[in-house]
Chain A
Amino acid sequence: MNRRKAIALSGAGVVGVAGGALVARNAFDSPASAASDAVPFYGANQAGIVTPAQDRLHFVAFDVVTKSRDRLVEMLREWTEAAARMTAGRDAGLIGAVAGIPEAPPDDTGEAIGLPASGLTLTIGFGPSLFRNADGVDRFGLAARRPDALADLPKFPGDALEAEISGGDLCVQACANDPQVAVHAVRNLARIGFGVVSVRWSQLGFGRTSSTSRDQATPRNLFGFKDGTANLKAEEEALLREWLWARSGDGPSWMDGGSYAVTRKIRMLVETWDRTSLMEQEAIVGRSKGSGAPLGKKDEFDEPDFAVKGADGELVVGEVAHVRLAHPDQNAGARLLRRGYNFVDGSDGLGRLNAGLFFIAYQRNPHKQFVPVQLALARNDVMNEYIRHVSSALWACPGGVAEKGDFWGRALFA
């Protein structure tokens, strides 16, 4: 139902508006240019994974608080409808932010009135605890459907995880080019979910720190370095098949066309980094800060040469340089699709920026991809001196919502 129709109907008291009269005070804007920046919601894969990385993030993790499987499924239906509307640049509910009766709260919160779709994507994921919670209870009869790939992540050396900002039963990744649009989407989903889910933690991000498309320039993280040069890109279809999308035979069929997301909140100790010499910063990363080229090479996209030694007889790209430890050649070819964001959560009371990277990586199987890479990094990376992993979560993001009527999690709960 398009927006115009919804209003006409609501005026006649059909979709739940009290049988009153609506008096238009303003004409509609022309819908001609409607949602030209909208990302299609329906499809074989969920949007928000290979979609060219938008500039802003609002990521939210929920705990399921209801005991009723039916209520959970019903909420997922409502969420999906609201998500389809909001990603198209519409209000979360059928009535909208200002067309209802004045005595009742509106079914959209209204802060996105007048804003375009802004490339909003909403991507859902299911956490291991949805299938069996910390006490081992199979709350919703899903334990048998948990993919092996969703087994809990191991503890990595040096992890300083805070339980209250880690894990969760469900997540929604909202990415948009306007932070207000991303926040609006999460706020409305949280509201629809009251009584069924409760927000466990959430994270705002800005300044995408990876590119998921060749059309995008490589952005910089808060250490000032280009990040994600070797990231999987939307155009690399063969690599995406190999490393990104779960397929038939990988695990339970409800994950076909889906992908697994690892999220890590990585606090960066930017003040100490900033008083580290340029030479040391570049040695730690293994790339030059200006061009992003691997040390010993000229251009950003030149392949690093891990064997070459300098005049001093030392390796140009050190044994423990970040780029070496993370490189596919050192990790059985493992690739990840990263779409992380910088964050600054104000300052920490000691006068330091509470800042860092909210790392998000999608992959076909985290235990074969993220885990070995992160183990290598956690053990050896000199960068660990300047970072702390404070939050961690793992999510199974199912395939796309095929069409209207289909909903997030339908195959899982079927």
Chain B
Amino acid sequence: MRTPRLFALAAAGVLAGGALAACSDDSGDEAAAGGPITVNATDSLCEVATTDVAAGTVTFKVTNKGVKVTEFYVYAAGDRVMGEVENIAPGLSRELHVELPAGTYETACKPGMIGKGIRGPLKVSGSAAPLTDNAALAAATESYQRYVKSQTGALLEKTQEFVTAVKAGDVAKAKELFPIARTYWERIEPVAEIFGDLDPKIDGREEVIEEGMEFTGFHRIEKDLWVTGDISKSGPMADKLMADVNEIVAKANAEKLSPLQLANGAKELLDEVATGKITGEEDRYSHTDLWDFNANVEGSKAAIAALRPVLEERAPDLVKTLDTEFANVDTTLAKHRAGDGWKLHNQLTQAELKELSDAINALAEPISKVAAVVAK
């Protein structure tokens, strides 16, 4: 019999350096430190068991007792997403682990996964030692933040060039600049995704736009450029893209990242490749997915590079594996170079796409182990 082992980690203890050493294997104790905070979500209520928690990693156990699929969010001031669980089907429970420093926050359930959600206050007090108290991890986040800054600088510049070309009605130039501007975006995408509603405005694909929302951003202009070739009315859309990119860059540069965000970000970038770029669904009009693919891999590599000193100390074998697999992805992708850029997605055979997919999976699996090493 597979034993149902419903263990919850005293995650706060782990993140604070693992001082708690209790391992109780037979007697359950729900009230133990770090036990999850239960959240009862219905279609009209969002009951959070406590609104006053200790700083550190906080675990919420969200149970959907409504009939609509729901989501649960923790927001900091300005609706900055600290953590979220999506797609909680009726009757199901999902857990959210989120590292929260002292401060005031809001929780939200979103029955039907739309709107501002049912909000409630959350107060976090005390001072759990953040991961960045570790000097090597602090250095890692600082290093990665410098990288983010360098990319956001180029993102502003290249997006401006792209926007200028669109507004000037220069279709050829705009098409040429489209994948270049996106490169800087795709390198730091997990950072951008922290700012909930800005990401879909800039990078949302047509099918994610729900009623009442406008289809804006890169992919809207991509469609104008490649499908109709008529950008005579795209000027306002280009201005809006520039405004949204300006806003997200300001936020990204001010954001203090946690080392776990680096680790998970490195994995998420590869997941982006595996789900969106391999299939060609991201840049479905221009087929410039391989540009994004390469940028995602570079961004992932940058996050791992920042963590490298920590990883080398704690998991040298993992570093070796990551080096090998990053090199393999680079070699495989390099077969599809075209001039300064890349072949179009629809120029690759199914076998070539499978080879790329295999290379990404071979890298993503070990990268998924980085978070555990960082949290150690």
Contacts and interface: CB of A to CB of B under 8 A. Distances in A.
Contacts of A33: 1
Nearest to A30: B1
B290 interface: no
A236 B2 CA distance: 34
Interface string B1-39: 111111111110110001011111111111011110000
Given A102-B97, A104-B372, A89 B2 contact: yes
A23 B328 CA distance: 40
Contacts of A113: 2, 4-5
B365 A191 contact: yes
A26 interface: yes
A21 B20 contact: yes
A20 B361 contact: no
B292 interface: no
Interface string A1-22: 0011001100111000011111
Nearest to A4: B25
A26 B364 CA distance: 32
Contacts of B21: 12, 21
B260 interface: yes
A19 B9 contact: no
Main secondary structure of the interface of B (DSSP, over half): mixed
Contact of B372 (A28, A99, A103): A103
Main secondary structure of the interface of A (DSSP, over half): loop
A18 B372 contact: yes
A98 B5 CA distance: 6
Nearest to B264: A103
B357 to A, nearest CB: 8
B4 A23 contact: no
A90 to B, nearest CB: 7
B369 A104 contact: yes
Interface in A100-123: 100-105, 112-117
A198 interface: yes
Nearest to B357: A198
B257 interface: no
B376 A24 contact: no
Nearest to A37: B1
A96 B7 CA distance: 11
Contacts of B325: 195
Contacts of B4: 26, 29, 113-114
A96 B5 contact: yes
Contacts of B198: none
Given A20-B18, A20-B20, A96-B5, A26 B375 contact: no
Contact of A116 (B2, B27, B358, B361): B2
Q: Which of B5, B264, B375 has the most CB of A within 10 A?
A: B5
Nearest to A200: B354
Given A21-B18, A29-B4, A65-B358, A103 B10 contact: no
B375 A195 contact: no
Contact of A65 (B3, B8, B260, B362): B362
Contact of B1 (A12, A22, A29, A101): A29
Contacts of B5: 7, 26, 28, 96-99, 113
A112 B97 CA distance: 24
A227 interface: no
A104 B2 contact: no
Nearest to A184: B2
Contact of A91 (B2, B34, B372, B375): B2
A102 B372 CA distance: 8
A253 B363 CA distance: 37
Given A35-B1, A198-B354, A25 B368 contact: no
Contact of B11 (A28, A29, A96, A101): A101
B300 interface: no
Nearest to B376: A18
A51 to B, nearest CB: 20
A244 to B, nearest CB: 32
Nearest to A116: B1
Contacts of B371: 103-104
B269 to A, nearest CB: 16
B59 interface: yes
Contacts of B363: 195
Contacts of A102: 8-9, 11, 57, 59, 95, 97
Contacts of A8: 23, 25
5 contacts: A21-B13, A21-B34, A34-B1, A102-B97, A103-B372
Given A22-B9, A23-B35, A195-B365, 11 more contacts: A19-B14, A22-B23, A23-B8, A24-B7, A24-B27, A24-B28, A25-B6, A31-B3, A195-B358, A195-B362, A198-B361
Interface of A: 3-4, 7-8, 11-13, 18-29, 31, 33-35, 65, 89-91, 96-105, 112-117, 191, 194-196, 198
Nearest 4 pairs of A and B residues by beta carbon: A195-B362, A11-B23, A20-B14, A104-B372
